[in-house]
Amino acid sequence: MQATVRSFDPDTRSGSLFLDDGSEIPFGAAAFDAGPLRLLRPGQRVNFALTDGTVTVITLSTFPLPESGA
């Protein structure tokens, strides 16, 4: 899935994403650390994976999600 970064705190490595339908979903450090990124900026387009309503990984929209292999 794709979304836009709403906020990111580099100290806690957590933040939130805006989904394309306008809703917001938070993510924690575990989701950020599961991907290859060092930081995010508001407005940045990203790919993410959800498991049971929780963001499990975030990466740039041009990178494949680690578990998808795509």
Give the pLDDT confidence score for residue 5 in this predicted structure.
Answer: 97
Confidence of residue 67 (pLDDT cuts 50, 70, 90): low
Query: What pLDDT sits at residue 35?
Result: 86
Encoded amino acid at 30, one letter: A
Confirm whether 69 is domain-assigned. Answer: no
Return the higher-pLDDT residue of 65 and 68: 65
Domain total for the chain? Answer: 1
2-9/24-27 β-pairing: unpaired
pLDDT at 68 over 70: no
Whether residue 32 contacts residue 59, with contact meaning beta carbons closer than 8 Å, is answered with: no
Residue pLDDT, tens place only, 27-36: 999 999 998 8
Q: Starting at the earlier edge strand, list the strands of the sheet with 54-60.
A: 24-27, 14-19, 2-9, 45-51, 54-60
CATH code for the domain in which residue 34 is found: 2.40.50
* Token representation of residue 16: 């939130």
pLDDT surpassing 50 at residue 69: no
25: domain range? 2-60
What is the structure's pLDDT at 64?
74
Alpha helices, DSSP H, located in the chain: 29-33
